Amino acid sequence: MARKFIEEFAVSEKVEMDMTTDYETFSNKELLDELRNKIIQSLIDKHLKEKTMTADAIREEVDEAVEGYDLSIVERSYLYNLIDNEVNGYGPITELLEDKEITEIMVNGKDQIYIELDGKIIKDESVSFINEEHIVRTIQRLIQPLGRTIDTTNPMVDARLADGSRLNAVLPPLSLKGPVLTIRKFKKELANIDDFLRNGALTPYMARFLEGCVKSKLNILICGGTGAGKTTLLNILSSFIGPTERIVTIEDAAELSLKQEHVISLETRNANYEGEGEVTIRDLVVNSLRMRPDRIVVGEVRSKEAFDMLQAMNTGHEGSLTTMHANSPHDALNRLETMVLMAGMEIPVQAVREYIAEAIDIVVHIERLTDGHRRVTSICEVTGMQDGMINLKEIFAFNKQGLTDTLEVKGEFILNPYIPKIYGKMKAMGISDLADIFGE
């Protein structure tokens, strides 16, 4: 919990206080919850609509509410902090938003708040809302500066917060269990390839190979499940693009942070209340072709824009990168085929497969394992067509071998005895540091 008021008291009174005190250690938690709810309701009735309250005003409000109760300074400061978060922050999730170690916040109900920490999803027992109305009010406070709203007539919102974090909220009747809020937090310091190596997400061989693929202008598709790290890996691979190339990035919510100078970042736009003004990924992909890009980086393909992306890859825009949700490299190509057919083009399935086989060079699969760790579990080459199907050859793989006593996934990375067909192109493009992996 926040220490603001506790620390202020300690400084003003020149005393040492235990800053590790946690709400769960309080003996009268029920009383504190009751007082919190009482104070918040009072503020709603009086002046919660105000954007801010001073520290003195908060103390006065709390002191008036707890008069007659025997509370310690830590418990009283705890209430100060809660009300400060309510009025000057974002309610019960204020401190979760501020915690840099938390990567995702999921509110499923008033006392059903989950967080992702170190790749693992855990329930946070120290945080709760008063009721469903309290959750909705917090959502509205989050999206109000963005000019967005959510209510029974507009029960769903998808938005990007000022710090880049992605917010999704759904209200009844779309959500059967009440208001649901999900926030994927934006990391200002995104991971680099060295971070992936230190965390064991891949091997130095794999890292050098992927860097060579990007520099050789191969078209790369990154796939994996939700929260697997696809966007993070996309950002890392994009960092290998040359500094003189013109890059156009296209995303639903801008998360990529490329350091190159010549980068054009495009972001989709939702329709307005009249259902007009929507700009989709597909619209932006089509438009990007008129912007003379050397590289096109699409944050995620999930629908008809797949056809336009493949068309770009097949018409001179080599070195394009994108991600998609899929459980395996084979599944990714199958989904890509379905997406192209969704575009409404009268193209035979066989022709679609050939189109995909010509466009995609490398498929990279990344997973979040059961222990929370992320691993690049497969790197495959698209080698063409065989018996009417797209053929994949696996170059690198992560072989899972069970669990340790601490439930961590055991396994090893494997380099398959296969020399990729694209290795010749990589050497022709000046990639000369892979001989120790594949030979001359």
DSSP run (H or E) holding 330: helix 329-342
Distance CA 396, CA 413 (A): 7
Average pLDDT for residues 84-90, to the nearest whole number?
Answer: 83
Query: Is the domain defined by 193-438 classed in CATH 3.40.50.300?
Result: yes
Distance CA 393, CA 343 (A): 28
322, 363 Cβ separation under 8 angstroms: no
pLDDT reading at 23 higher than 80 = no
3-state secondary structure of 115: strand
pLDDT digit string (tens) for 139-154?
Answer: 998 998 887 888 888 8
221, 362 Cβ separation under 8 angstroms: yes
321, 173 Cβ separation under 8 angstroms: no
Q: What DSSP string describes 123-148?
A: E-TT---SSHHHHHHHHHHHHGGGT-
Q: What percent of the chain has pLDDT over 70?
A: 89
Question: Between the CA atoms of 358, 382, 351 and 332, what dihedral angle is there, to the nearest 10 degrees?
Answer: -120
Q: How confident is the model at residue 357 (pLDDT cuts 50, 70, 90)?
A: very high
Residue 312 amino acid letter? A
Residue 365 amino acid letter? H
Q: Where are the alpha helices (DSSP H) in 344-421?
A: 349-359
Q: What is the pLDDT of residue 4?
A: 54
Beta strands in 61-143 (DSSP E): 102-109, 112-117, 120-123
Q: Return the CATH number of 95-187, one of 3.30.2010.10, 3.30.365.10, 3.30.450.370, 3.40.30.120.
A: 3.30.450.370
**pTM of the complete model beyond 0.85:** no
Q: What is the pLDDT of residue 65?
A: 73
Separation of CA 267 from chain center: 15
Q: Look up residue 142 and give its two tokens.
A: 């989050």
User: How far is the first Cα of the chain from the last one, in angstroms, to the nearest whole number?
Assistant: 59
Q: What is the pLDDT of residue 258?
A: 87
Per-position b or e across 299-336, b if 16+ CB within 10 A of its CB: bbbeebbbbbbbbbbeeebbbbbbbbbbebbbebbbbb
Distance CA 22, CA 349 (A): 60
Best mean pLDDT range from 203-212, 247-256, 259-268, 345-354: 203-212
Q: What is the pLDDT of residue 46?
A: 63
Q: How confident is the model at residue 15 (pLDDT cuts 50, 70, 90)?
A: very low
Distance CA 181, CA 156 (A): 10
**pLDDT-wise least confident of 26-30, 57-61, 107-111, 122-126:** 26-30
Distance CA 426, CA 440 (A): 12
DSSP run (H or E) holding 313: helix 305-314
Nearest to 415 by CA among 431, 439, 432, 433: 439
pLDDT reading at 25 higher than 60 = no
Q: Look up residue 319 and give its two tokens.
A: 């070195």
Write the CB contacts of 164 (distance below 8 Å, at least 6 apart in sequence). Answer: 186, 188, 253, 254, 255
**pLDDT-wise least confident of 12-21, 102-111, 177-186, 349-358:** 12-21
- Collect contacts of 422-429 with beta carbons under 8 A, ≥24 apart: 422/213, 422/216, 422/218, 422/361, 422/362, 422/381, 425/216, 425/218, 426/212, 426/213, 426/216, 426/218, 429/215, 429/216, 429/217
Best mean pLDDT range from 55-64, 180-189, 364-373: 364-373
Q: Look up residue 310 and give its two tokens.
A: 């493949």
For the chain, the domains span: 1-88, 95-187, 193-438
Q: Give the DSSP letter of residue 239.
A: T
3-state secondary structure of 189: coil
127, 115 Cβ separation under 8 angstroms: no
Q: Look up residue 82 and give its two tokens.
A: 């809660």
86, 43 Cβ separation under 8 angstroms: yes
Q: How confident is the model at residue 259 (pLDDT cuts 50, 70, 90)?
A: confident
**pLDDT-wise least confident of 66-70, 210-214, 328-332:** 66-70
Q: Look up residue 113 and give its two tokens.
A: 């708040």
pLDDT reading at 48 higher than 60 = no
Count of residues making up the chain:
440
